[in-house]
A and B are shown apart, each in its own frame.
Chain A
Amino acid sequence: MRPVAALALLVAGCGPATSPPPDGTLVIAAEQVPTWVRNFHPYALSHHARWPTRVAIYEPLAIHTPRGDRWEPVLATAWAWEDERTLRLELREGVLWSDGTPFGAADVVGSLELLRDHPGLDRDGLWRVVEGVRARGPFEVEVRLGHPHLPLLGDLLELPIVQPARWRAFDDPVAQANPDPVGTGPFTEVLRFEDQLFELGPNPHAWRPSPVQRLRFPALGSNEQMLLALVQGQVDWSGIYVPAVDRTWDGRDPAHHHHDFPPLGGMVLLVPAAHRAPTDDPRVRKALSLALDRSRVLEVAASGYAELPHPTGLPPVFAGWGEGLPGCDWIDHDPARAGALLDEAGLTRGEDGWRRLPDGTPWTPELEVVAGWSDWVRAARLVVRDLRAVGIDARLRAWDFGAWYDRVPRGLADLAIGWSVVEDDPWSWLGDQLSSRTLEPVGEPASSNWQRVADPEADAALATFASSREPTVRREAFARVHARLCALAPSVPLYPGPSWGEASSRRFVGWPSADDPYARLSPNGLPEPWIVLGHLRPR
Chain B
Amino acid sequence: MSTLVAVLRRAGFYLLALWAAVTVNFVVPRLMPGDPATALVGRLQGKLDAAALEALRTSFGLSDAPWWRQYLDYLGAVARGDLGVSIAFFPAPVTEVVGGALAWTVLLAGTATLLSFVIGSALGVLVAWRRSGRLDAWLPPLLVLLGAFPYFWLAMLAVHVLGFELGWFPVRHAYDASVSPGWTWAFLASAVRHAVLPALTLVVATVGSWTLGMRSVALGVLGEPWLDHAHARGLPPSRIAWAYVARNALLPQLAGFGMALGYVLGGALLTEVVFAWPGTGHLMLQAVRAQDQALLQGLFLAVSVGVIGANALVDGLTAWLDPRVRRAA
A interface residues, Cβ below 8 angstroms from B: 7, 10-11, 14, 16-19, 21, 33-35, 37-39, 44-48, 118-125, 128, 172, 174-177, 192, 194-197, 216, 218-222, 224-225, 228-229, 232, 266, 401-403, 405-406, 409, 419, 421, 445, 447-448
Contacts and interface: CB of A to CB of B under 8 A. Distances in A.
Nearest to B115: A3
B21 interface: no
A195 B279 CA distance: 9
Interface stretch (B68-76, B87-95, B130-138): B87-95
B172 interface: yes
Contacts of B285: 34
B33 A402 contact: yes
Contact of A419 (B45, B59, B101): B45
Interface stretch (B163-171, B221-229, B313-321): B163-171
Provide the main secondary structure of the chain A interface. Answer: loop
B49 interface: yes
Contacts of B34: 402-403, 405-406
B46 A174 contact: no
17 contacts: A17-B170, A34-B286, A35-B282, A44-B90, A47-B44, A48-B91, A119-B51, A120-B58, A123-B52, A174-B56, A219-B278, A229-B172, A405-B42, A409-B38, A421-B47, A447-B47, A447-B48
Best-buried of B46, B174, B177, B285 by chain A (most CB within 10 Å):
B177
A232 B177 CA distance: 14
B232 interface: no
Nearest to A174: B59
Given A7-B196, A232-B164, A220 B90 contact: no
A204 to B, nearest CB: 23
Contacts of A197: 173, 177
Given A33-B286, A401-B39, A128 B49 contact: yes
Interface of B: 32-35, 38-52, 54-56, 58-59, 85-86, 88-92, 96-97, 100-101, 104, 159, 163-164, 167-178, 180-181, 189, 192-193, 196, 272-274, 276-279, 282-283, 285-286, 289, 291
A221 B43 contact: no
B48 A119 contact: no
A175 B85 contact: yes
A403 B286 contact: no
A176 B163 CA distance: 40
B115 to A, nearest CB: 10
Contacts of A232: 164, 171
A491 B286 CA distance: 32
Given A402-B34, A405-B38, A409-B42, A196 B173 contact: yes
Nearest to A16: B167
Contact of B35 (A125, A128, A406): A406
Contacts of A445: 35, 38
B283 A35 contact: yes
Nearest to B192: A10
A192 B42 contact: no
Contact of B40 (A45, A125, A409): A45
A125 B42 contact: no
Given A16-B167, A196-B278, A232-B171, 15 more contacts: A14-B193, A18-B170, A34-B283, A45-B41, A46-B44, A48-B89, A175-B85, A195-B174, A220-B276, A221-B276, A225-B172, A401-B39, A405-B39, A421-B45, A447-B47
Nearest to A27: B177
A45 B90 CA distance: 9
A62 B100 CA distance: 38
Nearest to A49: B90
A403 B50 CA distance: 21
A403 B85 CA distance: 23
The 8 residue pairs across chains A and B that have the minimum distance between CB atoms = A125-B49, A120-B55, A34-B282, A406-B34, A175-B91, A402-B34, A35-B278, A195-B278
Nearest to B179: A19
A10 B273 contact: no
Given A37-B97, A228-B159, A19 B177 contact: yes
A315 to B, nearest CB: 14
Given A17-B167, A220-B172, A229-B172, A125 B180 contact: no
A441 to B, nearest CB: 14
Contacts of B33: 402-403, 406
